[in-house]
């Protein structure tokens, strides 16, 4: 059983992540993790923050001479912008006078579509800073780092991953389009939106440009494919042993995800039974399936065919042309958000399919 | 923290369920649980098995004089058909000769769309009986029983649930249709398909009849609504604290579910940011939201508005006009399934929206 | 990973237990489980209740034709005394008039040394009945039943268990006495106190008689030995992976246990380092240990030598010659306890070393 | 629910710890944590390593302006000796030639009483370095750091802790000696062995000196006292809800602990029932207990009286006058251990009662 925890705030000194339960002998290097952190920043229409933030990577534990030791893997991702934030986010008490800056001001205008207001209610905060610092999608950098380690582990077992963008806003890859394989990762990374269908990719770029021009943002759909998964992972014996259930939890736990599908998902719900399942046939003496409508799970177990899981992400909530909110301190009703200066200039979709691949 | 486990096979003597962590003082009676077990059997186009199987209910522990005691709640749901199955499913060794019956025959033709084949591979079984007995949707009766207890607990906290059918196959409730409230449960139970929109319900009945006539089955989409949820349940601090992630796991763990959405789910992924979130406004001195696109969660926490979660269910895999399979013992390639006699005659959608409400 | 939950009250209709995560193919029969339930009742100086209570055993799930199926194992232990208690412990509301009996009276005199008072405080009960019903050591019958299944599983892996009594009150087996092996279980079961040292056993019998004559009760120390444990179970990588830590939790969780030792335990703390560890030597080309002071764990892992764990149990708190208490309803200060009639006559040590073996 | 993980190796760049589930508003500063890390190093007869190793503390997450934010608390404890170890323990692959040093040599002589041999067997290592780096008691520095945070949280709830040494080798505090209170922590810290009984402390110092002179090491017994614990923490409803069981797990998980007692522990097992429990009496209208033999738990719940837990620690296994072992590479049978140079000079008991207080 693998367990993992992350810690750290968006503008804090660093993110910290621990992965526990990894066997010994898995190849892990800073280069391997850094590569995925770089890929996390790809994507047409990214906010400016992605560009100047550098991820300073430290392998703090669990790895020696390029392989895991069986002890917990600890990774830190330093924040190169920390010097600008060291008063605002200081763990130690600070003199209130040093907070008399734009960065230090109390964030009293909770942003719609963010955790701000509920977090303040939950913890009794009178401003949103402590909430947005942790609820931020910056935390996914820690997940990507651990995910790179997990991906290396899967690789040792012959399991290879690839993800690709299926939709940006209303622009979708046509049903039945070819699926990428792990050998296509480099090509996907070279596509502006990591879309495997060139014609759709061009339409997606146009959609991003249009959203940009109208001061708006976009969401989308991503699909993760796992090749080489053996049959029998997960189980039907108890509700929380099911592989599909655990994948659904993991994926819905990513910031901004609002929907999860395994295989054909909701489309399967529209089909008739005779068209919805994967028939069993014998080919060269092996019982196999000719289709993968189920997405590689039956009865909560991997079937040995291609595992396919999709996530639907809402558009970034920090919309330039502004949503209504209320200032909890003054009662003002501004059409502006409380975003910190760096990300407030972000005008394009904060959509990051590369979180998994 | 509540924990729960279920046990028991589809044709075994009984299902057993334990719910651990329930506080003292929650109203629990056999009548309350039995009512939900009865509701589980409603629905137009049900298989025959639902009709003659009775659920013999026993409250074995945790409840005294109509209220919970803080100790674990144990519920048994007896199987009235057990006498017919007591040899085939006997926990004790039996003489092989007593298995020379239709019921006792080895099930060597794994059914497509079921756990049969993978379960056999996982455990090394040479027939599917031990797999299908536990992977069966009959297990949901145990969940419904515990769910009735959980619903009573939520009721004590002012949280009330209602579920309704949004789609049967391609027939969907129109977007923007009115949502039911907990006061509508009786009316929904009276509808053949628990659809809150009368016109759509009629179309759904026609769709079920058509599927029946063509020897086919149907899936669909259900939505669960929770009224009265306070803000702040769940949390953004760690991935597995998120309420939406935990709901996604719980719902995807139900047999045949292939997709989960919170709020507007995948539709939100198609919208632009300016149309995708719930603005914050002040009404009578209270900061509130005018819409519920997010489905009642932000940052992995309940917002205090209506909680909405959807599940997409695949059509029942036991399709009368038959899917291809392979006999693992003989190599035959029958177009018949291995279903036990009782459920093999089931010709209509095994669709049970009443699992939650 | 194995998980288990138990449910059920001391005078309820039955105890219920679920064991989740057991592989398929483990031999399990009612006879095997019943044998250990019978052994649980052995022991010189037992209370009367043990004699007339029969354990009606039901294998409700997870087992078919004498072997486990990989699905959860569910066991029920029926209470043959239930008819006498069906009003007092009815899950359904009852008319208060039927509780106007000795059994039905509110238990307002919390017993010292029991969970009674704290349980009432924790849950706000005005009597101890709901507390003592679940806090009762009767619950160990459910653990013994699951333990019999676990023991069968271990047996398949070549691991065999034996337990024996090391002390009854101040009467202790001399240090350095021979240890029993699994082949000695029948002989131990035949000893009045399951002591492997005949001379000490005779002294223990005398001690029990003396306690009986003075209206008092006794505790003691038991040791569990596991033969055939392979090296490397458990781990040092994280605190809760340690085998010794998990054993300590499991054993301290048994009612009335107040101390746990692995290997020589507290005696090791008195030794000097040169005498406290197990040296490594090579015998016939194999690196091995000549002693087992550590009790078979190093660094939180099994070493492959004999695993030895001890538990210290306090004397039964229902002392005939009575401890002081206070009546929470009347303020009276009786020197009597609130025990139910059946167990109040119990005059001898409720000491059950056979819980594990 | 609080969860925590630690990571990091003994001679790695740093230890990393994450504590998850802490509420907002708990006072946390580097000074508060550093103070306990300093106290960890106190103690007569410490190894040299304790003296020159500095703990460089970093609060990486979860704390802002001196209080917790509800997000996970992350703490790093840097290793000032890292420059000497950066090749030997490099996470990145290194050229084998740089390991041709005393520090870099393969550790092929597993030390008795350590995790070395079993760890090598478990993971298939051909030397002990990857094992001893994580199995090391250095990891307790990470626990102490998180423990300081937990202690602050308990302090907010009115719960105060103090620990003291009950025994060093065979030298024990007399039964019935006075117990320290939290106000005695400073005085205890000033005692060479954190013993609250001055006469015993002097004997303990003599015992340490004698062990030193004979090239030997010592273990001992420590007791942790928690004042102000409210009644009702933990529960009897399920085995793993019990407070005593969870404490036993936590304490047995500490390196070198071989025994755990709650309250009078094994001594209670020797008493008769009439002398073993805490009678209930009414004082000024409040039901209370006149003794604390149970150590503050009944039925797995805190009683509201003083919580007392003891741990028995084995002597440090790195004994100067040497235990037998076998060189796994050469088959040599040296009477020397494989300890790294820094700790091999450690000649006195590595006994650290200050892990908890």
A246 interface with C at CB cutoff 8 Å? no
Q: What angle do CA C320, C322, C323 make, to 5 degrees?
A: 145
pLDDT of the residue at C335:
64
* Phi, psi (degrees; rounded to nearest 5) at D308: -130, 125
Residues of chain A with pLDDT under 50: 337-357
- Residue D220: which of D341, D282, D312 has the closest Cα? D312
Nearest-by-Cβ selection for D112 from C143, C279, C304: C279
pLDDT of the residue at D109:
94
Number of residues that this document lists for chain B: 357
Q: How would you write chain A as a 3-class SS string?
A: CCEEEEECCCCCCEEEEEEECCCEEEECCHHHHHHHHHHHCCCCCCCCHHHHCCEEEEEEECEECCEEECCCEEEEEEECCHHHHCCCCCCCCCCHHHHCCCCCCCCCCCCCCCCHHHHHHHHCCCCCHHHHHHHCHHHHHHHHHHHHHHHHHHHHCCCEEEEEEEEECCEECCCCCCCCCHHHHHHHHHCCCCCCCHHHHHHHHHHHHHHHHCCCCECEEEEEEEECCCCCCECCCCHHHCHHHHHHHHHHCCCCEEEEEECCHHHHHHCEHHHCCCCEEEECCEEEECCCCCCCEECCEECCCCEEEEEEECCCCCCCCCCCCCCCCCCCCCCCCCCCHHHHCCCCCCCCHHHCC
Q: Beta-strand (E) ranges in chain D?
A: 3-7, 14-20, 24-27, 55-61, 63-64, 67-69, 73-79, 160-168, 171-172, 220-227, 257-262, 280-283, 286-289, 297-298, 301-302, 307-313
pLDDT, tens digit, for every residue of D67-107?
Answer: 999 999 999 999 999 999 999 999 999 999 999 988 999 99
Chains that touch A (3 or more CB pairs under 8 A): B, C, D
pLDDT of the residue at B134:
98
CB–CB contact A65 D92 (8 Å): yes
CB burial of C241-258 (b: ≥16 within 10 Å; e: otherwise) equals bbbbbbbbbbbbbbbbbb
Count CB-CB contacts under 10 A for residue B124. 9
Using CA coordinates, name the residue in chain A closest to C62.
A237
DSSP output for B109-130: SPPTTSSHHHHHHHHT-SSSHH
User: For tokens 């101390």, what's the residue?
Assistant: C259
C235 interface with A at CB cutoff 8 Å? yes
Q: Chain C window 322-341: which residues touch B at a Cβ cutoff of 8 Å?
A: none
User: For tokens 């019990």, what's the residue?
Assistant: D242
Burial level of D83, CB count in 10 A (0-12/13-18/19+)?
exposed
Can you tell me the mean pLDDT for C67-81? 97
**Residue D344 confidence (pLDDT) above 70:** no
CB–CB contact B253 A265 (8 Å): no
The residue with greater pLDDT, B239 or A328, is: B239
Using CA coordinates, name the residue in chain B closest to A253.
B245
Q: Mean pLDDT check: name the lowest of B206-210, C221-225, C332-336, D55-59.
A: C332-336
- Token digits of residue C225: 């030995």
How far is residue B146 CA from its own chain's centroid? 12
The residue with greater pLDDT, B321 or C113, is: C113
Nearest-by-Cβ selection for A130 from D15, D24, D29: D24
Q: Mean pLDDT check: name the lowest of A103-117, A136-150, C50-64, C79-93.
A: C50-64
C296 interface with D at CB cutoff 8 Å? no
Give the CA count within 13 Å in the CB-facing half-sphere of B225.
Answer: 19
pLDDT of the residue at D54:
67
Mean pLDDT of chain C: 91
D30 interface with A at CB cutoff 8 Å? yes
Q: A-chain residues within 8 Å CB-CB of C61?
A: none
CA dihedral angle for residue B29, residue B30, residue B35, residue B37, rounded to 10 degrees: 130
**Residue C343 confidence (pLDDT) above 50:** no
User: Cα distance from D72 to chain B (closest Cα, Å)?
Assistant: 6
Nearest-by-Cβ selection for A115 from B221, B245, B301: B301
User: Cα distance from A4 to chain B (closest Cα, Å)?
Assistant: 9
Nearest-by-Cβ selection for A8 from D13, D74, D90: D74
User: Cα distance from B268 to chain A (closest Cα, Å)?
Assistant: 5
* Helix/strand/coil for B15: strand
Q: C-chain residues within 8 Å CB-CB of A1?
A: 1
- Which residue pairs from C96-103 have beta carbons closer than 8 angstroms and sit at least 24 positions apart in sequence? C102/C341, C103/C340, C103/C341
User: Cα distance from A134 to chain D (closest Cα, Å)?
Assistant: 7
D27 interface with A at CB cutoff 8 Å? no
- Residue D168: which of D195, D142, D150, D188 has the closest Cα? D195
Q: C-chain residues within 8 Å CB-CB of B7?
A: 18, 20, 60-62, 71-74
Distance CA A195, CA A208 (A): 13
pLDDT of the residue at C331:
85
User: Cα distance from C28 to chain B (closest Cα, Å)?
Assistant: 8
C238 interface with A at CB cutoff 8 Å? yes
| Distance (Å) of CA B41 to CA A151, B183, B301, B351, D216 | 44, 20, 33, 10, 74
pLDDT of the residue at A343:
33
Mean pLDDT of chain D: 91
- Token digits of residue A152: 């290396």
User: Cα distance from C57 to chain D (closest Cα, Å)?
Assistant: 21
- In angstroms, what is the C-alpha Rg of chain C? 22
Please, which pLDDT band fits residue C339 given cuts at 50, 70 and 90? very low
User: Cα distance from B237 to chain D (closest Cα, Å)?
Assistant: 5
D319 interface with C at CB cutoff 8 Å? yes
- Residue C11: which of C130, C162, C189 has the closest Cα? C130
pLDDT, tens digit, for every residue of D131-184?
Answer: 999 999 999 999 999 999 999 999 999 999 999 999 999 999 999 999 999 999
Q: B-chain residues within 8 Å CB-CB of C58?
A: 13
Using CA coordinates, name the residue in chain B closest to C17.
B18
CB–CB contact B5 A238 (8 Å): yes
Q: A-chain residues within 8 Å CB-CB of B280?
A: 110, 112, 117, 323-326
B132 interface with C at CB cutoff 8 Å? no
The residue with greater pLDDT, C152 or B344, is: C152
Q: B-chain residues within 8 Å CB-CB of D4?
A: none
Nearest-by-Cβ selection for D1 from B1, B20, B72: B1
D3 interface with A at CB cutoff 8 Å? yes
| Distance (Å) of CA B177 to CA A195, B166, B197, B198, B307 | 35, 10, 7, 11, 17
* Phi, psi (degrees; rounded to nearest 5) at B91: -65, -25
**Residue D1 confidence (pLDDT) above 90:** no
Residue B329: partners with Cβ closer than 8 Å, 6 or more residues away: B106, B108, B126, B127
Chains that touch B (3 or more CB pairs under 8 A): A, C, D
Strand partners, D281: D288
In contact, D29 and D57? CB cutoff 8 Å: no
In contact, A60 and A74? CB cutoff 8 Å: yes
pLDDT, tens digit, for every residue of A265-300?
Answer: 999 999 999 999 999 999 888 899 989 999 999 999
Q: C-chain residues within 8 Å CB-CB of D170?
A: 270
Residue B181: partners with Cβ closer than 8 Å, 6 or more residues away: B162, B225, B227
B299 interface with A at CB cutoff 8 Å? yes
Distance CA B310, CA A265 (A): 12
Distance CA B267, CA B261 (A): 9
User: Most D CBs within 10 Å: which of C214, C285, C304, C314, as the mutation test of the D interface?
Assistant: C314
pLDDT, tens digit, for every residue of D225-273?
Answer: 999 999 999 999 999 999 999 999 999 999 999 999 999 999 999 999 9
CB–CB contact A237 C20 (8 Å): yes
**Residue D210 confidence (pLDDT) above 70:** yes
Q: Chain A window 41-80: which residues touch D at a Cβ cutoff of 8 Å?
A: 58-66, 69-74, 76
pLDDT of the residue at D284:
87
pLDDT of the residue at A47:
66
The two beta strands, C14-20 and C3-7, are: antiparallel
User: Most C CBs within 10 Å: which of B17, B32, B60, as the mutation test of the C interface?
Assistant: B60
C281 interface with D at CB cutoff 8 Å? yes
Nearest-by-Cβ selection for D12 from A61, A93, A124: A61
CB–CB contact D236 C316 (8 Å): no
Q: Could you give the percent of chain C with pLDDT greater than 70?
A: 91
Distance CA C211, CA C170 (A): 12
**Residue B240 confidence (pLDDT) above 90:** yes
Distance CA D243, CA A152 (A): 39
C213 interface with D at CB cutoff 8 Å? no
């Amino acid at each position: 059983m693998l367990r993992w925890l992350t810690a750290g705030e968006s503008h804090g000194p660093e993110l910290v992540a621990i992965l526990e339960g990894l066997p010994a002998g898995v190849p892990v290097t800073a280069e391997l993790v850094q590569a995925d952190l770089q890929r996390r920043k790809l994507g047409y229409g990214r906010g400016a923050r992605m560009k100047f933030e550098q991820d300073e990577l430290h392998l703090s534990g669990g790895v020696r001479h390029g392989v895991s030791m069986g002890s917990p893997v600890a990774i830190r991702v330093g924040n190169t912008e920390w010097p600008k934030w060291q008063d605002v986010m200081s763990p130690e008490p600070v003199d209130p006078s040093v907070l008399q800056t734009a960065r230090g001001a109390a964030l009293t205008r909770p942003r719609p579509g963010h955790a701000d207001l509920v977090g303040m209610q939950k913890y009794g905060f009178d401003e949103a800073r402590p909430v947005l610092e942790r609820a931020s999608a910056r935390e996914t950098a820690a997940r990507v780092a651990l995910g790179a380690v997990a991906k290396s582990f899967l690789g040792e077992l012959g399991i290879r991953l690839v993800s690709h963008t299926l939709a940006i806003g209303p622009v979708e890859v046509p049903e039945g389009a070819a699926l990428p394989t792990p050998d296509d990762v480099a090509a996907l990374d070279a596509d502006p939106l990591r879309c495997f269908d060139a014609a759709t990719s061009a339409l997606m770029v146009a959609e991003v440009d249009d959203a940009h021009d109208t001061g708006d943002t976009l969401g989308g759909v991503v699909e993760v494919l796992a090749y080489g998964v053996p049959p029998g992972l997960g189980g039907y014996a108890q509700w929380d042993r099911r592989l599909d259930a655990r994948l659904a939890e993991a994926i819905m736990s990513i910031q901004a995800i609002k929907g999860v599908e395994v295989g054909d998902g909701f489309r399967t719900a529209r089909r008739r039974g005779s068209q919805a399942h994967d028939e069993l046939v014998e080919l060269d003496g092996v019982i196999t399936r000719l289709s993968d409508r189920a997405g590689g799970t039956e009865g909560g177990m991997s079937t040995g065919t291609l595992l396919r899981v999709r996530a639907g992400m809402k558009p970034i909530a920090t919309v330039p042309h502004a949503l209504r909110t209320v200032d909890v301190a003054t009662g003002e009703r501004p059409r502006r958000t409380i975003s910190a200066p760096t990300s407030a200039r972000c005008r394009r979709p904060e959509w990051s399919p590369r979180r998994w691949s």
